A and B are shown apart, each in its own frame.
Chain A
């Protein structure tokens, strides 16, 4: 195995300008700029973050709502480029962020396996070969041939989780997905995550479940208002967060 880290975040920041008195239309924007009323406000979503993650390591990101956890995860998912600094990700990424984005209600389970898997960078042919196993793991039985709009939200989440974890990727990004489904499925998905991590995948875990953090993570990053408050071993970061 290559020893280079899966993730390197070097002094990365994400900021953007919002126009005060938000104007969703071109007309209003034009009028405002003519009247010179507009004053832009800079939002600093993430500020000067630096960390790295090696294969087989799990990093937990903790913090209050709106601290920038999801923004950070999007940055690691390559969806959001940093406005300053640098992000390097080596290998393929399985993003488990709001599972099921990309599903289509009119298509059946099998067709959605092909579509979602292809969105994640695999080929339709690979996905068709894996469809039976994926469906079995998600416990969908005959429902797999029905349109997705007939599924319960739990079934959709199980299917999405099964597809996303079907292959071993170099990096898994997890946003609260361990809290979907019933208790039995939560246990099953935690086991699956541990299995993937032991096969040398790196993972970044965003969750409010501090018990899961202590159970699964090797290190933790606490962020608040987009800034790193503490970064290091799980126990000391969680303790600092709880005492804040």
Chain B
């Protein structure tokens, strides 16, 4: 008799668990749902488009192409020790696309999923994480294009390229954390979206996506280096095709800051959600 009740899931509204550990456990417990949501995301995005999955590759390639035309003469000579501009640019565009779209999707997922979240119990954080994962998958498709461009321009691919997984992992923490942090504001206020869009584009321009850090003055260099996105870019370019340099400080900043944001995001979300959900 006791065994029957032991195996049952018991919900107690007064039970207080460890917020951070419980959320990570939910990501694991709901992994099948996350996989389905990611698959649905990719299927729905491409089902009705002529180019299908190719679009994932084409979009960053075309963006990079435009930037390449505009900036090739200005920046390519400034790149350190013979780094090619095309792969430098594409690496930047791919990673920043992962950042911006991952953030947007994670932040929007709670508001968009409210139809489900108000009727079926699923930890809402799972939707934010699934949004981030689906952009990680897109990023991985993009790596094939980057590998191709790196090879034909002569930059090549580093032997350490599997370490890119650590960049992806950190970015997942970063965008999930940021997304959770602002998602409550998205649900509550209509105009927060545009405010955050501006902040995010600041972060984008204050990181070396299409310009080399070498062109920056001392003050701007300090600002750009303080941006965690810069460490992401440095580490990514270094591990993928051994261009530029990434110090241990970059690794530590990338991983540490992302973990910090994830903790803040999860904690503030758990605190704010019960107050938001009654008003939905």
Contacts and interface: CB of A to CB of B under 8 A. Distances in A.
B195 A106 contact: no
A26 B189 contact: yes
Interface in A28-83: 29, 45, 74, 77-83
Given A2-B5, A106-B44, A115-B40, A89 B11 contact: yes
B275 interface: yes
Given A27-B191, A101-B119, A107-B43, A170 B278 contact: no
A16 B5 contact: no
Interface size class of B (residues with CB under 8 A): 35 or more
Interface string B248-280: 000000000000000000000000001101110
A235 interface: no
Contacts of A114: 36
A82 B37 CA distance: 29
B119 A88 contact: no
Nearest to A147: B47
B81 interface: no
B11 A102 contact: no
B111 interface: no
A77 B120 contact: yes
A208 interface: no
A79 B9 contact: no
A128 to B, nearest CB: 11
Nearest to B278: A16
Contacts of A115: 36-37, 40
Given A16-B278, A91-B8, A119-B122, A79 B13 contact: no
A95 B120 contact: yes
A24 interface: yes
Contacts of A29: 189
Interface string B112-154: 0001111111100000000000000000000000000000000
Interface in B68-120: 115-120
11 contacts: A14-B278, A16-B278, A18-B279, A25-B191, A26-B185, A80-B277, A81-B13, A90-B10, A111-B40, A118-B36, A119-B33
Given A90-B8, A102-B120, 18 more contacts: A2-B1, A2-B2, A26-B192, A77-B121, A78-B11, A79-B117, A83-B278, A87-B12, A87-B13, A88-B12, A97-B119, A106-B43, A107-B40, A118-B33, A119-B120, A119-B122, A120-B120, A124-B32
Q: Which 7 A-B pairs give the minimum distances between C-beta atoms?
A: A78-B121, A2-B5, A26-B189, A25-B191, A16-B278, A87-B13, A89-B11
Interface of A: 1-2, 4, 12, 14-16, 18, 24-27, 29, 45, 74, 77-83, 85-93, 95, 97-98, 101-102, 104, 106-107, 111, 114-115, 118-120, 123-124, 170
